[in-house]
Amino acid sequence: MRRHLSWTVALMAIGTSGCQTYSARPIDLGRVFEDLRLTTAEPSVNVSDGLTLAEAERLTLVLSPELRRARLAAGVTRASLDHAGAFPNPSLGVDVSGILHDVPSPWRLSTGIAFTVPLSGRLGAEVRRATAGHRASLFRVAQRERDVLATLRSNWLRWSAATRRIALVEAHLAVARPLLPRIEALAKDGEVGLSEAGLLAAVLRSRAARLTWLRSEAERLRLEVLATVGLTATSGATLTAITELPEVTRVTDEALGHHPAVREAVAEYAASEAALEREVSGQYPDLGIGLTTDHDQGKWGLGIGLTIPLPFFDRNQRGIAEAQARRELRGSGVSRAASRLLAERSLAEAARASALDRQRTLQDDVLPAVKAQLARLRKMIAAGEVSALLLDDALSRALEIDEALLDAALELNLARARLMALAPEVSP
């Protein structure tokens, strides 16, 4: 009997020897900020020699905290897949009883080990569900990468446009400021009123103040770009402005069908299908097989037992109904993802067409007329035939047209960026 107990205890010890132990790992906020400072303020690549958009995209895929978190989330589903479909653990039982009557061997020992044999195929369904769930998480990461890169391109384009706008205003002020001494001299001679000189001075101060605001706005956009990449303001990164993105050919329905958003929805639907299969298989019972040994009155006995639940009352109706409803929900997600992509393609193409029309109108019709008028006014003011205020007004109109062209170019590039986010593989 003692030997029997020893074998039982040894079997229990062997069964628990492979179990893991828990060890706490608290968050050290000081270490978190220090690691961020080292990885973002001092990246492994040189970003001080002029970071291009293409280089920033590659760097973003490595440094972006949002993308790192998305990949860690995919690691959760990977772990679930690695351990899906495991065979149920056997169970060990020990039963000790004593006989109250006076007998030579009053103690009775019975030990047994039981196995559960799934007959319904639920283990395979669990593996298929975990596989589809992991695929969905990988497509979710790919979609998040597209979203982050789209945000990076948008911020980069806005920052580039802001720097070009600053250059336009600076060039305008460089031409307009020399007009002020001429107006002031004419005012002293009584040829123009003092109000004209004061008005021009106020206009120039207003434009100088706007220039200061534009520089602050450009710096804000630069910091947004760095934050999207995963860099800090102390990283020493210098950005290279971009004038235009490459043209994107029409994004076909077939290309949209391979978009990560659609493929994620399809994978989620496949996971819901496998989950329904798992719930349906759950209504069929598993077979229990038990092996027992008895020691009674100094004699050993060996037995085998079979158990199988009878699905008379609970046939997993609730789980099946919920899984069916969840499958319908995931099915609608596929059409929803496709519909959103189709709408985004239409909106992006319409925005591109509108920006092209606006750009063409400004370049072909408006800008030449303004430039010609400005040239005539410069000749007239050189001959003393026109007020400097009138020339300044013409310069202001020219600046407005240049900024309108800049806005049209920005709108065109933003529309191209939206189409790039839909295309299979496009990089500037």
Condensed to tens digits (0 to 9), the pLDDT of residues 223-275 reads 999 989 988 777 778 888 988 888 888 888 888 999 999 999 999 999 999 99
Helices (H) and strands (E) in the chain, counts: 12, 4
One-letter amino acid for residue 23 of the chain = S
Share of the chain above pLDDT 90, in %: 30
Q: Are 117 and 158 in contact (CB under 8 A)?
A: no
pTM of the full predicted structure?
0.80
pLDDT for position 427 = 45
| DSSP string covering 375-425 | HHHHHHHHTT-S-HHHHHHHHHHHHHHHHHHHHHHHHHHHHHHHHHHHSSS
258-270 residue pLDDT tens: 999 999 999 999 9
Q: Which of 162, 168, 208 is nearest to 400 (CA)?
A: 168
Q: Are 204 and 172 in contact (CB under 8 A)?
A: no
pLDDT for position 426 = 46
pLDDT for position 154 = 94
Taking CA atoms, 256 is separated from 10, 191, 335, 336, in Å, by: 60, 68, 12, 13
22-40 residue pLDDT tens: 777 787 777 766 766 665 5
118-159 residue pLDDT tens: 877 888 888 899 999 999 999 999 999 999 999 999 999 999
Structural domain boundaries of the chain?
Answer: 52-343
Q: Which fold has domain 52-343?
A: Outer membrane efflux proteins (OEP) (1.20.1600)
Burial per residue of 161-188, b for 16 or more beta-carbon CB atoms within 10 angstroms, e otherwise: bbebbbebbeebbeebeebbebbbebbe
Task: In whole angstroms, give the CA distance from residue 381 to residue 392.
Answer: 11
Task: In whole angstroms, give the CA distance from residue 141 to residue 78.
Answer: 13
Average the pLDDT over 73-102 and give the result: 81
pLDDT for position 386 = 52
